[in-house]
Copies of this chain bind each other. A is one copy, B any other.
């Protein structure tokens, strides 16, 4: 089989660079082009598998979109959807890493191009695999939602969560989740030895894609999501408090059964740590029954690498499905 040409739009950000590395190391694909308007002409060194690769950036307008079988758009929220339209018009498939095509559209009011459908598959294969393989365009989930939905889904589908519950999520992310653009609050001197919440009060733009997905899974409870900024490069840990409809004897069994055949979900008795998941395309989850409370309550913990299973790795997973390849091809387990 000849190698499949793949393009990356917006390749100079952290997710874009991770995509370039994964494609460069992919056994059945190769990188046809990588674009970055502000860094055009520059070369970025990326890791892919156990090697490093030098990636040359061209401008978006220079990209030969039609030469690629599939294009990843890692362009900023709001700006991505227009390029999704151009890629489709050029005859290539597209995985959109922005929130532009996710449920709620990340709050974007940018008009959809005519050739972009209003509803596209939400590419979280472990929960919603159906339809991904057949669609020319897939919306890649947000990093926080990936960790939270994978942990919650088995309990929601089984109707175990109290319908009038408030499910509260305290999540913490490494700074690479905030992007590679220089901002004062992301300087080393501001982040080291520090920790803080942000976007507090349930106002994060990732909320709609989570509530929509939970409704699809049958959940009618409220979700409260509070993100925090960690002094680490990579990784998200979501700590989830779940009031249950009734006591649950063995929550770990629910997780184990749900994900017995999913190669990218690790169900572990040990509480997941960021060090377990960085540079890997996995969600690591664990469940603990809460003691000393009257309401039956569950604690769920989910850890991911925000740039891999939370972005570029999951995008490749979706691309593998869309291209008819093995879902795990080229992905670090």
Chain A: residues with CB nearer than 8 A to chain B?
14, 45, 49-52, 164, 166, 168, 170, 172, 174-176, 180-184, 186-198, 200-203, 207, 211, 222-224, 226, 228, 230-235, 237, 239, 241, 243, 271-276, 278-280, 288-295, 297, 299, 301, 303, 331-333
Contacts and interface: CB of A to CB of B under 8 A. Distances in A.
Contacts of A184: 180-182
Contacts of A175: 187-189
A241 B166 contact: yes
Contacts of A193: 174, 192-193, 232-235, 274-275, 278
Contact of A292 (B168, B192, B222): B222
A198 B239 CA distance: 11
**4 nearest CB pairs, A to B:** A50-B332, A170-B170, A196-B273, A182-B182
A276 B52 contact: yes
Contacts of A224: 241, 290, 293, 297, 299
A235 B289 contact: no
Contacts of A183: 182
Contacts of A226: 170, 239, 241, 299
A191 B188 CA distance: 7
Contacts of A203: 291-292
Q: How many copies does the complex hold?
A: 4
Contacts of A288: 200-201
A176 B189 contact: yes
A231 to B, nearest CB: 6
A295 B232 contact: no
A188 B198 CA distance: 17
A240 to B, nearest CB: 10
Given A182-B186, A290-B202, A195 B172 contact: yes
18 contacts: A50-B331, A166-B243, A182-B186, A188-B188, A188-B191, A190-B275, A192-B231, A192-B233, A193-B233, A193-B278, A194-B275, A195-B274, A196-B271, A197-B271, A201-B290, A202-B291, A230-B231, A231-B231
